[in-house]
Amino acid sequence: MRTGVIVSYNSVIRCGVIKDGNKQKIRFYNEHPEVMFKVLDVVRFSIGFVDNALKAINIVPVVDKSGSKVSLAMLVN
C-alpha cells in the first residue's frame, strides 16, 4: 500500500485527489459513504485500473496510537 495526503475532495460526489510520496496526483472515488475524508487527511491506498484509468482504491485513513485520524491540517496555522 502507498501513503499519501488528500489534496482535494468533493464530499457531495465523494471524489478527490491524493498526492503520494512521489508527488504524483491520483484520483479516487470514496466507495464508503460512512467514511468521511477531509483535505489534508493522511491515507493509505492501493492503485487499481478503474474505468480505463489508474486510480487509488481501498483508501483507509491513517490513525495514530489513540485512534484519531492523522491530518496535516494540525500543522497549518
Amino acid, single-letter form, for residue 6: I
How would you label 14-48 residue by residue, b for 16+ Cβ within 10 Å and e otherwise?
bebbbebeeeeebebebeeeeeebeebbbbebebe
In the chain, the domains with their CATH numbers are 2-65 (2.40.50.140)
Q: Collapsing DSSP states into helix, strand and coil, what is residue 63?
A: strand
Residue 74: what pLDDT? Answer: 77
Within the chain, strands assigned E span: 2-10, 15-20, 25-29, 42-50, 53-61
Query: 56: how many CB neighbours lie within 10 A of its CB?
Result: 24
Rg of the chain's alpha carbons, rounded to an integer?
12
Along the 77 residues of the chain, how does pLDDT read in single tens digits?
999 999 999 999 999 999 999 999 999 999 998 999 999 999 999 999 988 999 999 999 999 999 999 999 877 75
pTM score of the predicted model: 0.90
